[in-house]
Amino acid sequence: GCCSFAWETSVAGRQALLGRLMIVGKKCAAHLGLTDGFRMVAGEGPEGEQSVHHVHLHILGGCRLGWPPG
């Protein structure tokens, strides 16, 4: 798909990809009008509820988000 990426096996490749995801995530939040703040969440592994091994972000916003999350 248009937003699919192969998960890099090298540390440098993963760092570059994750850095790019943060930039794109911020642009998506702005596009969604989340000007008062937002949170980006990524799940990894079984306890992160990752059943298909791929990288993606959830962009949460539009209301006050509590801390700690969950």
- Residue 34 — pLDDT band, cuts 50, 70, 90? very high
pLDDT tens track for 13-28: 878 888 898 999 999 9
| Mean per-residue pLDDT, 48-56 | 78
Q: Specify the DSSP element, H or E, that contains 11.
A: helix 11-31
Distance, in Å, from the CA atom of 51 to the CA atom of 18, rounded to the nearest integer, reads 20
Question: Of the residues 31, 53, 54, 56, which is catalytic?
Answer: 56
61/50: higher pLDDT: 61
Confirm whether 53 is a catalytic residue: no
- Residue 39 — pLDDT band, cuts 50, 70, 90? very high
- Residue 31 — pLDDT band, cuts 50, 70, 90? very high
